[in-house]
Amino acid sequence: MDKKFNWLAPLAAALLVACVGWWADWEIRQAMQQELANDLRGIRDADVTSLEIWMADQKRLAAMLAEEPRLRTLASQLLTLSYTEGGSRPLAASVSRQLIFGDRLQQRLSSLGYRLAQLVNTNFVVVLDSGHNRIGEKVAEELQPKYAELFSSSEAIVIPPFKIKLVENPGWARGRPGGRPPGQARELTVMQVATPIKDTNNVTCGALVLVINPDVEFTRLLSVARSGESGETFAFDSEGVLISRSRFDKQLKELGLLENSTNASSALTLRLSDPGGDLTEGYQMDTNGVRPLMRMIGQALEGGSGLTVEPFRDYRGVPVIGAWNWLPKYGFGVGTKIDAHEAYRTLRMLRGVFVILFLLLVLASLGVLLFSYRQVLLSRRFSEAQLKARKLGQYQLVEKIGEGGMGVVYKAHHALLRRETALKLLPPHLADAPAVQRFEREVRLTCQLTHPNTIQVYDYGRTPEGIFYYAMEYLDGLTLADLVIRYGPQPEGRVIFLLRQICESLGEAHALGLVHRDIKPSNIFVCDRGGLPDMVKVLDFGLVKTFGGTPAMEDAADIVGTPSYMSPEAVEDPALVDARSDLYSLGAVGYFLLTGQRVFNAETLAQIRQLRLTGTPTWPGARIGKPLCPHLEALVMRCLDRDPARRPQSTRDLLECLESSPQAADWTAARRTQWWTTHRDLISQMHQTESSPLERASAVDVEVTGRTP
């Protein structure tokens, strides 16, 4: 490999590491996500199975109690008594005492882990309450459909956690350590398991209801299996409300999602909604709007089970991943989740290692690149010093006056002819085959042109060191771009005078079947030469294309030129470019000279091209806000017509129109001489101030930036 490409090796290695790292990251992420999915699925299924087994046990235990002969006999007596008859009340009270105290019902319930027991008849009326004074009350309306299902199916049911307000029985309150004063109401979170009670005819006459403290069994079961340090399994109802206690109750109080009191619980209080941002990181939640449910809750309520390993926000706003299952048989769902930060910790560590390796290789590549660039600079400076110290054939190099993508331009002195020339060199490091071909083509085509308004080429050759060069006339002046930038829009008479000379130069090229393709202000030089002030020289024939016949290989239909001055056909179909395309560009130059602005102002190449194809130029006078010669203004706009057929068809046509303009004679020889007399010294000082030997740029520099081949 060439030494100048040594810096590519570490860069290629860095690119290879990046590709391998991307592939490894993808593979590891896929494997990790699969593993996480399996873990979440396993925890969810284990928790659901545990709950189902526990609820089945509760129903079986309740059924066993209901089948005990004495309890069944006493319970059926209570359930069949009519409470509308006053005489039934003493009997009911007597049976209740026998059931509660004689059979030690409450004592047995406590040993089995139940809070209390109730008997509910088929009219949904509580006829026995072992712990609270609710005899004669009806069960809550929202629970009645579940009891109706039990009475019709004679199958035990489990009712998920719900809240009730109760007044404690004095005896029960005294039996509870720390119990509330008798008769004081309080709110409880309870679950129920209910099983049918059948009379002697084996007909369901009511239900035995066992009341469960959900925090003792239900929530505890959900907290047994969880993933990682931040994992949590919970249950929720059809409204998306948490029905088990969150393991983050303390944090929820700090975040303001729960009341900051000792007895406050998230169960049946917290709606599992997405706050819109991470509350633990200081995000301020909008408390006015209705927030959507967490993604997993919303999908669970649509039915079935699922999981996702793509992070979503939980009720704290923390990014998590999770799995869920809706249990239609019981009317609630179960979800399990883990913080995404913990779940993907290993992946982040691996990514960090790959990033460090990649950055190290990039730094190594940049180091080699800087070293190579420094070597190239030293080599160039050494070459320049060699060139400056010796003659190049008959040419004594004086100073560098320009540099572009296609070579370096020096001011030189011919030893025998004793005249100043501009010497364009193609150094060896730029002399690949396409560059040499284009360099030679530029010389060959320019040599065919002899018009005084076209820059003249004197000589061409190659040194023993492999440096291609050609000599052309040395010009002392400024480009039309510099002219407008420094002195503003030009008088109409001067514009006509300059455009006529450009037409003369292009007329010779067009007659030979050549189109310039890069007419623009920076490629047109104006100077005081041979006693002729304001003399124009057309530069840079490096993009010349043949037309009117079969194009040469180098004239392939590529989009070339400077976008701001290209004709529409040069953008749409470069193969259609002909002499009229140069006249479009010449119209754009005239527009620039009259207004000091380009035809279209756009920031990107794509915008310029689009405006060139579809936009309509603003007339020059309207652009600068003052009237201009109608004849000249209309002629410029005619040159800028998108249809080549409506433009002047040749340089001769355009030249005749310019000569017939009312201002054609305004820019007299006396005015031209006076202008150059006034500004010649200032222009020379400008060049001296802006440059130094081997660094100064001048308008002879062949500009290649800002145009596209």
Q: How far apart are CA 334 and CA 339, in angstroms?
A: 17
Three-state secondary-structure class, residue 659: helix
How large is the angle between the packed helices 492-511 and 630-639, nearest 10 degrees?
Answer: 40
List the alpha helices (DSSP H) in 260-409: 295-301, 340-343, 345-389
- Compute CA 606 distance to the chain's CA centroid, rounded to the nearest angstrom: 21
Q: How far apart are CA 303 and CA 97, in angstroms?
A: 46
Strands (E), 213-265: 232-236
Residue corresponding to tokens 């527009």? 591
Name the token pair of 480.
Answer: 């039309």
Q: Which of 316, 304, 275, 278 is CA-nearest to residue 292?
A: 275
Which one of 518, 534, 540, 555 is the catalytic residue? Answer: 518
Number of Cβ within 10 Å of residue 686's Cβ equals: 14
**Which amino acid, one-letter code, is at 512?**
L
Residues 6+ apart with CB under 8 A from 327: 48, 51, 52, 333, 334
118 within 8 A of 128, measured Cβ to Cβ: yes
Q: How far apart are CA 697 and CA 690, in angstroms?
A: 8
Tell how many helices (H) and how many strands (E) occur in the chain.
21, 20
Q: How far apart are CA 185 and CA 168, in angstroms?
A: 7
Residue 555 per-residue DSSP state? G
Q: How far apart are CA 377 and CA 412, in angstroms?
A: 23
Q: How far apart are CA 275 and CA 455, in angstroms?
A: 73
Burial class of 227 by CB neighbour count within 10 A (0 to 12, 13 to 18, 19+): buried
Give φ, ψ of 535 to 5 degrees: -85, 135
Q: How far apart are CA 556 and CA 552, in angstroms?
A: 7
249 is catalytic: no
583 within 8 A of 639, measured Cβ to Cβ: yes
* First-last CA distance in the chain: 28
Three-state secondary-structure class, residue 456: coil
355 within 8 A of 317, measured Cβ to Cβ: no
Name the token pair of 216.
Answer: 């003792």
**Which amino acid, one-letter code, is at 488?**
G
Residues 6+ apart with CB under 8 A from 463: 392, 393, 469
Name the token pair of 508.
Answer: 């010779």
The maximal CA–CA distance of the chain, rounded, in angstroms, is 146
Number of Cβ within 10 Å of residue 16's Cβ equals: 12
Half-sphere CA count of 576, side-chain side, radius 13 A: 11
User: Would you name the residues annotated as active-site residues?
Assistant: 518
